[in-house]
Amino acid sequence: MRRFAPGELLFSEGELCSGLYIIARGRVRIFKTSASGREQVLGVNGPGETVAELPVFDGGCYPASVVALEETEIAFIAQPDFRRFCLDHPEVALKLLATVGSRLRQLVGIIEELSFTTVRQRLVAMLLKLAESRATKTAQAVRVELPGTHQELAHQMGTVRELISRNLQRLQAEGLIEVDARQIVVRDVAALRAALD
């Protein structure tokens, strides 16, 4: 078992893979960093999920970096031990292959989103998803809380903080939302949905 403090790196992109990480407690962020220092979040994993499945099998380097978002406890299994375990228990390897397939679909979705949508469209889609899933509904509107700072949202959406702030301001100027720090009031969900076009 290994413990990581908030902000502590589990490993960095390009390091040779030493084993598989299974999250017992806490959450981690998986991300890529460009040469200019811009971050793209690939996912946030929590208890019961694994990290670094692919390089455990192909023997390559870690394709992304992983950092603890909070106090995190990890079960680490060294690569040779895990490979032997998979040979003795092939059902485990098949389950992990299903996880790798799911991650690949998620990454294809991220590529598609970054390639074919604008920052505004990605932001509106996120607000709509929040409004439909974990919002507080009032008589006239829907109140949502942004799942992070503008900088964290920028990392998730493959852009910069300034564009997140600017697009939130534009949506507010158009009367679609009201912004109060991380609290967003969606005045008209149907009108916001129409803004995706």
127 burial (CB, 10 Å; 0-12 / 13-18 / 19+) is buried
- What pLDDT shows up at residue 27? 95
| 169 and 98 together in one domain | no
- What pLDDT shows up at residue 91? 93
| 109 and 136 together in one domain | no
What confidence tens digit (pLDDT) does each residue in 68-125 have? 999 999 999 999 999 999 999 999 989 888 888 888 888 888 788 777 888 898 899 8
| 96 and 69 together in one domain | yes
Rounded Cα distance, 162 and 124, in Å: 16
Strands (E), the chain: 2-4, 9-11, 19-25, 28-33, 39-45, 50-51, 65-68, 72-78, 136-137, 142-145, 177-180, 183-186
- What pLDDT shows up at residue 106? 82
What CATH number is given to the structural domain containing 95?
2.60.120.10
| 90 and 157 together in one domain | no
Question: Where a domain ends, among 68, 94, 116?
Answer: 116
| 42 and 108 together in one domain | yes
The stretch 157-184 carries a mean pLDDT of 88
The stretch 20-24 carries a mean pLDDT of 96
The stretch 146-151 carries a mean pLDDT of 84
> pLDDT band at residue 136, thresholds of 50, 70 and 90?
low
Task: Give percent of the chain with pLDDT exceeding 90.
Answer: 39
| 106 and 150 together in one domain | no
Going from the C-alpha of 41 to that of each of 16, 28, 131, the distances in angstroms are 21, 11, 22
Rounded Cα distance, 52 and 70, in Å: 19
Question: Where a domain ends, among 116, 133, 162?
Answer: 116
| 38 and 92 together in one domain | yes
Task: Identify the domain containing residue 171 by its residue range.
Answer: 119-194
Does the pLDDT value for residue 135 go beyond 80? no
| 124 and 110 together in one domain | no
| 111 and 70 together in one domain | yes
What CATH number is given to the structural domain containing 132?
1.10.10.10
Counting the structural domains of the chain, the total is 2
| 153 and 168 together in one domain | yes
Q: Which of 121, 131, 114 is nearest to 167 (CA)?
A: 121
| 36 and 111 together in one domain | yes
